[in-house]
Amino acid sequence: MTEQGLKELRDKLDKIDNQLLELINERMELVHQVGVVKAQSGGAIYRPEREKAIINRLVSLNKGGRLNKKAIEALFLEIFAISRNIELPENIAYLGPEGSFTHQAAEARFGAMSSYISIGSIKGVFREVSTKKAKFGVIPIENSSNGIVSDTINCLSSYNLKIIAEVILDIHHTFASTCDKVNDIKKIYSKDIAFDQCHNFLENFGLDEIEHIPVESTTKAAKLALSEPNSAAICSHVGAKLYNLPILFENIEDIDNNRTRFFIISDFDNAPSGNDKTSILVKLPNTPGTLVDFLTEFDQEGINLTKIKSHIVEGVSIFFIDFDGHRNDENIKKIFDKHGKNIKFLGSYVKEIDDI
């Protein structure tokens, strides 16, 4: 291609960029008008079901375009996040530290422009949202390899906050070190759960025999490995990049489809989206057949149960249950009307996936 031809292409790109800027500004002005109406009515700025509907509509319109679904979602979620922050900047508390998988999950929904607060415990995240120091909280609920996060269940039981969205994140671990050779590594830092998830890699490279030092986060592991000679970290890609720690191996986890599910919590209820999931905690009398009878009613009402997990809270057995549908659906209302005293409603939100 000639220089003239290249210049013509760049001129066209500049023209499109100018049009995009004008259109995005126009969109922001409309968002402002919507925000004024919501403020007058007390409505929430963040509506996950509305954002999901917009993305699904755009994906359906994308016939033959170069953008795939993931690219469209990433692009418009960032636009949505910018829109919210222009209208009403709000804090998002997450289980830290910076660069953690929970931080990544938070940014996946709220974008890079939002104001984030790193909190050292799940209970601390709930407390920040409950006291309104943060509008939203992001916490892990379960991992496909390691199951339910007990602290999250305990806090869902104790605090009167609502699940307003779920985020599913593929979990990939990297092996990072300042050492050029694996044989020079004498100790490895990481979170205990990460050691378990990367057992095969460690064994294959003879690293299962050296010292493994558990720390509270994989991000801290990266920081320690950078400062200490002959050490390494099992950490996220983002954590290694945060401290400029050289990555020796990518995707070292044993299971390819290792995923973590996160909840976004706040103080409001979602409107129905047409593709919802509801989460509840259930405490039933300790008598034979009670649980079976309770679950049978879901089948009778045509409600699809997607998860049932038993858990002990303060010495009492409870059940964490997910099912398809919204709290306001008529068949689901029947369950709540009949068993309301045994049910704690945790939230209805847009379904991202059936189960991990």
Q: In degrees rounded to 5, what are phi and psi of residue 123?
A: -60, -35
DSSP string, 269-328: PPPP-SSEEEEEEE---SSTTHHHHHHHHHHHTT--EEEEEEEEETTEEEEEEEEES-TT
Closest by Cα among 128, 353, 323, 191 to 262: 353
Q: 34 pLDDT exceeds 80?
A: no
Question: What is the percentage of the chain residues whose pLDDT exceeds 70?
Answer: 97
| pLDDT of 289 | 83
CATH of domain 272-350: 3.30.70.260
- In the CATH scheme, what architecture does the domain 92-170+253-268 have? 3-Layer(aba) Sandwich (3.40)
Domain spans, the chain: 18-40+48-87, 92-170+253-268, 174-249, 272-350
Contact 178, 155 (CB under 8 A): no
- In the CATH scheme, what architecture does the domain 18-40+48-87 have? Up-down Bundle (1.20)
The CATH homologous superfamily to which domain 174-249 belongs is: Periplasmic binding protein-like II (3.40.190.10)
pLDDT band per the 50, 70, 90 thresholds, residue 40: low
Indicate the range of 85-94, 155-164, 279-288, 298-307 predicted with least confidence: 85-94
In tens, the pLDDT along 63-117 reads: 877 899 889 988 998 898 888 777 777 899 999 888 889 999 998 888 877 889 9
Same topology, domains 92-170+253-268 and 174-249? Answer is: yes
